[in-house]
Amino acid sequence: MTRSSVIAAALLVLAFGAGAASAEDKPAAAGSPPAATTQAPAMSASEKASIAKACTDQANAKGLHGKARKKFRSACKKAGGKMQ
C-alpha cells in the first residue's frame, strides 16, 4: 500500500466513526419540556466555607481520623453542616 492510500483509508474510518457518534445524539423535540434537574440553589464561596468549617469542627470534637472523618465530613456537608 502506498502512503496516500493508507491516509485515505484512515480518513474514511474517521469519517464513519464521526457519523456514527453524531447519530447517537438525539435532539430534544421542540414541544417537550427540558430534563428536570435536582440541583440545590447555588451557594456563595463564603457559605460553602462556613459549612466546611462547621463540619471540620464537629469532626475534631468527635476525634475522627482517616476514612471515618472523610465519611462524616461528606455527610455533614450534604446536610448543610447540621450534623451532630
Q: Print the domain residue range for 58.
A: 43-84
pTM of the model: 0.51
| Residue 32 lies inside a defined structural domain of this protein | no
Judged against a pLDDT cut of 90, whether residue 40 lies above it is answered with: no
Q: Is residue 17 part of a domain?
A: no
Question: Considering its fold, how many domains does the chain have in total?
Answer: 1
Find the mean pLDDT for residues 45-62.
93
Grid cell 456537608 in the structure block, residue: 77
Of the two residues 61 and 83, the one the predictor is more confident about is: 61
Instruction: Please report whether residue 35 resides in a domain.
Output: no
Q: Which amino acid would we find at residue 3?
A: R
The pLDDT score that the predictor gives to residue 75 is 94
Q: What per-residue confidence (pLDDT) applies to 68?
A: 95
Distance of CA 72 to the CA centre of its chain: 21
Region 15-42: mean pLDDT is 62
Residue 23 lies in a domain: no
